Amino acid sequence: MRCGRGVWRDPIEKWTSCDRESSSAIWKPVLPPPAMAHFPSGRFYANAAWTVLAAIAHNLLRWTELLGLPDGPIRAARTVRRRLLQLPGRLVSHAGRFTLRLPARWPWQTEFIEALTRIRALPAAA
């Protein structure tokens, strides 16, 4: 990978310290995503399990966005979690049926209802 003054370096090194000897460059370490903040645990199988679970959670989040809101732009994972998964609503039970009550002025209410309708309309797996 090309970096700085025409020197080829390792790709990981490029992100952490590219052109470190230059006075104009600011050296910043790469911060891991929040799901990887628990690495390393010191145990290989714990790290492997955490990696698999983080990948599954990421894929479920992306599939939820892709199936629920296919027309919109690709959003950051934090935005999708805030708009579709962290609901400020209340789950109430009346006459044996559950109802999700959302606030009247919640800014993403229409987006959430649209995504929920599209996901519910998917055919059941055979």
Q: What would the pLDDT profile of 6-45 be if each residue is shown by its tens digit?
A: 444 444 444 444 444 554 445 455 555 665 666 667 788 8
Q: What is the pLDDT of residue 15?
A: 44
Structure token pair of residue 54: 């983080």
φ/ψ of 101, rounded to 5, equals -100, 120
Question: Letter for the amino acid at 36?
Answer: M
Q: What would the pLDDT profile of 58-79 be if each residue is shown by its tens digit?
A: 899 999 989 998 888 888 888 8
Q: How far apart are CA 31 and CA 48, in angstroms?
A: 19
With 0.85 as the threshold, say if the pTM is over it.
Answer: no
